[in-house]
Amino acid sequence: MEGRIHFLYRPLRKSSIMNRKNFLQQAAVGAGAVATLPYLAFAQTTQASVSTKAEPLPAEKVKEFVGAGHNNLEKVKLLLTEYPTLIYATWDLGGGDFETALEGAGHVGNKDIANYLIKLGARTNMFVLTMLGKTQVVIPYLEAFPEYLKARGPHGLTLLHHAQRGGDDAREILEYLQAKGLKETKSPL
């Protein structure tokens, strides 16, 4: 028996085999459960967020709010008490002509409504800021992005139109735009 390796073989008792088998099965099930928990938690979170998603705003209320943004501060306030998220709503007038209540106030020069909406957190843009005469914001922006001089706002109205609607507050911006060669107050969309 020299040069041979002998293994001592001792059969395991049946109860040992069953315990080991049970252990392996339980370990596999436990590992699977641990690996699955994050997915189940994500699925529940996703279902909860989907089921709590609010309905879209009524289209007639969006249209009414955007219209009121042009010239009716009391109606703007009333509609916002009923539907606070109208402040972010955009109305599609067709052909890519989108407008918010703030933009309506901007292109007609209604500073009271524009300032009220901005104080409530309405999303603003260069057209409204031009009408409000925010020279410190508008001119550096246009210097950094001169292509924006040709941008069109709601109804195809230009920055020059908005500066004219801003009156004395926007005079410096108006002169700047004219010095840059702007002549058109409206362009086709």
180 C-beta neighbours (distance < 10 Å), count: 12
Residues, the chain: 189
31-60, pLDDT tens digit by residue? 555 565 566 555 555 555 556 888 999 999
Distance CA 169, CA 131 (A): 8
The domain 59-179 is classified under which CATH number: 3.30.450, 1.10.3470, 1.10.287, 1.25.40? 1.25.40
Domain chopping of the chain, boundaries? 13-53, 59-179
The pLDDT tens digits of the residues spanning 133-186 come to: 999 999 999 999 999 999 999 999 999 999 999 999 999 999 999 999 999 999
- Residue 189: pLDDT band (50, 70, 90) is confident
Distances (CA, A) of 177 to 130, 137, 141, 143, 166: 10, 14, 13, 11, 13
Whole-model pTM: value is 0.73
Residue-wise pLDDT for 1-41, tens only, equals 555 555 454 555 555 555 666 666 666 666 555 565 566 55
Q: What is the pLDDT of residues 94-147, one digit of tens each?
A: 999 999 999 999 999 999 999 999 999 999 999 999 999 999 999 999 999 999
With beta carbons less than 8 A apart as the criterion, state whether 130 and 142 touch. Answer: no
Find, among 157, 137, 159, the residue nearest to 148 by Cα: 159
pLDDT at residue 108, rounded to an integer: 98
Q: What is the pLDDT of residue 53?
A: 86
Summarize the chain as % helix, strand, coil (round to 5).
65, 5, 30
